[in-house]
Structure 1
Amino acid sequence: MTVHDGNRRTFLKAAGAAAATALVAGCSDDGNGNGNGNGNGDGNGDGVTIAAGEDIRFDGQTGGWEGLEPSEIAGETNPTLILEDGEEYTIGWTEGDGTPHNIEIRDDGGDVVDDLSTDQVDDPGDDQILEFTASGEMASYVCAPHENTMVGDIQVE
């Protein structure tokens, strides 16, 4: 395995009986320091407390949910959201990369909570916003087609 730090790509070389194959794998980083390696992108692993009634908005990028609003999550990738139990919130995506996305709120088992899911679309609009009351069963916000990269934790306290 050869790592080229300048391109942030990992090259894995495998030799076969007749030929060698090179596979490019990994992911890129824009170098802004938003990631912390655990997928929540908040830089400290603690999460971001979101005030009751706050609108939570993302830019839907295949590589992850990029925070837009509130300002506490702006520029963060897949930030952990700390919500207050029993309080009202809205969450959704208003910008995107042209690839079909949706947003869902799931429980620990990966099931959608209370039908909190939007349709998959490539151009977000008002229909990509979910209104909900925070509850302890909520564990994550996810884009179903990109659930390995577009996923962030929800903590309800």
Structure 2
Amino acid sequence: MSQRQSGNLTRRAFCTTLTVGSVSGMSSSTTAQAETFRLGGEVAAWRGRAPQSIAEQDNPTLQVEAGQQYRVVWENVDGQPHNFVILDANDNTLSKTEIIQEQGATQTVTFTATPEMAQYICEVHPTTMVGEIQISGGADGGEMGEDGGVGLRISPITYLFAAAVVLAVISPILFALLLFVIGTGDRTRRVR
């Protein structure tokens, strides 16, 4: 008898079948229709496994349609602590799983795609295990560009990084100009 059938749900069985998101009231036929993305989680990146459009890609973009049900099934490949978190464009958590560390353990995240969804990460490794969620369709399917495509969402951290780069380039130039002006002023005083 399986761990589930006996009525005793072990920690491993729980982690293996963990479902996060708005699943209350969903029938089994709705769940069966949900498209499934399969990923492998390791410190270096999320590794796409299925469908074929994301297979073998590191941190693949998950293309979803607003209002549709989706599942992400991911496996802990390296035995390091990982979890799966869906964020909006302002880095607010929309959905997340518990952190699991057991190599080979899997988690399933079921969600309805919404226009707010922007990316998915591992909370423990947010700089390497990070992928985009691209939303299309639906009544509120994101901002439409002039060409009819979904507009690009830029996170506040990206703006901050761009400002830092601009300052890093401009500040030495401004400093050199300041030294030139000060140096020019000193020479005119000495000539008199």
What is the TM-score of this pair, normalised by structure 2? 0.51
Task: Answer yes or no: is 1:74 the counterpart of 2:55.
Answer: yes
Aligned to 2:186: none
Amino acid at match of 1:112: T
Distance in 2 between the 1:79 and 1:70 partners? 11
Task: Answer yes or no: is 1:137 the counterpart of 2:91.
Answer: no
* Greater fraction helix: 2
How far off its partner does 1:103 sit?
0.3
Between structure 1 and structure 2, the one with the greater Rg is 2
Kept in 2: contact 1:96–1:122 (CA 8 A): no
Aligned to 2:146: none
Distance in 2 between the 1:56 and 1:81 partners? 8
How far off its partner does 1:132 sit?
0.5
Q: CA RMSD in A?
A: 1.4
Kept in 2: contact 1:92–1:103 (CA 8 A): no
Task: Answer yes or no: is 1:105 the counterpart of 2:86.
Answer: yes
Percent identity (aligned): 39
Kept in 2: contact 1:54–1:70 (CA 8 A): no
Question: Residue 124 of structure 2: SS of its match in structure 1?
Answer: helix
> What are the equivalent positions in structure 2 for 1:55-74 lying under 5 Å apart?
55-74=36-55
Gaps of 5+ in 2: 1-32, 137-192
> What are the equivalent positions in structure 2 for 1:10-29 lying under 5 Å apart?
none
> What are the equivalent positions in structure 2 for 1:118-137 lying under 5 Å apart?
118-123=97-102, 125-126=105-106, 128-137=107-116
How far off its partner does 1:125 sit?
3.6
Kept in 2: contact 1:78–1:152 (CA 8 A): yes
Structure 1 residues 129 and 117 mapped into 2: Cα distance closer, same or farther (>3 Å)? same
Amino acid at match of 2:40: D
Task: Answer yes or no: is 1:54 the counterpart of 2:35.
Answer: yes
Distance in 2 between the 1:70 and 1:54 partners? 9
Amino acid at match of 1:64: A
* Greater fraction strand: 1
Q: Deviations over 1:40-77 (max 9, x none)?
A: xxxxxxxxxxxx72111111110100001112111000
Kept in 1: contact 2:76–2:82 (CA 8 A): no
Aligned to 1:7: none
Structure 1 residues 137 and 143 mapped into 2: Cα distance closer, same or farther (>3 Å)? same
Aligned to 1:4: none
- Count of residue pairs brought into register by the alignment: 103
Runs of 4+ in 1 over 2 A off after TM superposition: 123-126
Question: Residue 72 of structure 1: SS of its match in structure 2?
Answer: helix
Kept in 2: contact 1:68–1:74 (CA 8 A): yes
What is the TM-score of this pair, normalised by structure 1? 0.62
Distance in 2 between the 1:155 and 1:129 partners? 20
